[in-house]
Amino acid sequence: MPYRVLIIEDEIIAATEMEYVVAEMGHDPVGIAADQKSALALAQRADIALVDLNLRDGPTGIGIGRILAQTHGVTVLFLTANPTQLGDGVPGTIGVMPKPATDRDIREAVDFAIARRVAAEAKRPSRLKLFSWDDASLV
């Protein structure tokens, strides 16, 4: 089953590469958002979101991730060059993968997010740091 994946990233080359990988996996990239306004405008169309922290409108990624997860029921995974900015994480979100991320990293992250969304067992991608409240039984 294809899932709808929202890419929240302000670096267009990185965003289009993620979009390509998601489409190649058979999923539906619903859009690329470079700021909070465009991300929230696409929120209703997404099942999964890959979220960078520092966007065109500043360090808004944490708030976007929180809103997507807690208000819209989106499965959120952060991808950022600054994972320490997340501290212990954002309630309702899965975890963080440091950038740069390879195509394989993106595939593993999306597969893991899908498994979490459907409550299936999944092997944690080696580069993914799960947030502390996340269910450790699925590691």
Q: What pLDDT, in 10s, does the model give residues 58-107?
A: 999 999 999 999 999 999 999 999 999 998 899 999 999 999 999 999 99
What pLDDT score does 138 carry?
A: 40
Q: Determine the pLDDT at residue 133.
A: 55
Contacts of 83 (CB under 8 A, 6+ apart): 96, 97, 98, 129
**pLDDT above 50 (res 137):** no
Given this model, what pLDDT does residue 130 score? Answer: 93
pLDDT (0 to 100) of residue 135: 47
Using the predicted structure, report yes or no on whether residue 139 has a pLDDT greater than 90: no
What is residue 19's predicted lDDT score, i.e. its pLDDT? 97
Q: Is the dihedral of CA 109, 105, 55, 31 positive or negative?
A: negative
Query: Which has the minimum average pLDDT: 34-48, 56-70, 113-127?
Result: 113-127
Sequence letter at residue 26: G
Helix (H, G, I), strand (E, B) or coil at 65: helix
**Percentage of residues in the chain having pLDDT higher than 70:** 95
